[in-house]
Amino acid sequence: MPRLLVTVKISKGFETWTDMAKSLEDEAGAEGAKVVWAGANPDETSVYVMMDVPNPEFMQTFGLREDVKKAREDAGADVTSTTIITQIGDYWLSD
């Protein structure tokens, strides 16, 4: 399963984006995707997300579905700015 590091610009802050992402967890999970980690830059204008996806095309097939796109836009995400930074091979999270 590919693991991707993705970024997107946001305009309504990290908490609003996080609430939206949590609301999509079950639906994304049913398609084999999971957010591993997410964080925002200090002024909360960009989000960085590491996620497991069933395939690299997932960002297009799920992320741009009209209902998902609307939820993302309503939460302040600039959907057109979504960028896959890189595929992640291995990682470490400190306690």
pLDDT tens digits along 38-60 = 999 999 999 999 999 999 789 88
pLDDT of residue 25: 96
In the predicted model, what is the mean pLDDT of the chain? 95
Compute the distance between CA of residue 30 and CA of residue 77 in angstroms, rounded to an integer. Answer: 22
Compute the distance between CA of residue 39 and CA of residue 41 in angstroms, rounded to an integer. Answer: 7
Stated as kind and residue range, the H or E segment containing 10 is strand 3-10
- Structural domain including 74 reads 3-87
14 pLDDT band, cuts 50/70/90, is very high
Residue 95, pLDDT above cutoff 90: no
Is residue 95 assigned to a domain? Answer: no
**CATH number (domain holding residue 13):** 3.30.70.100
Mean pLDDT, range 17-30, rounded to an integer = 97
Task: Quote the number of domains for the chain.
Answer: 1
Is residue 93 assigned to a domain? Answer: no
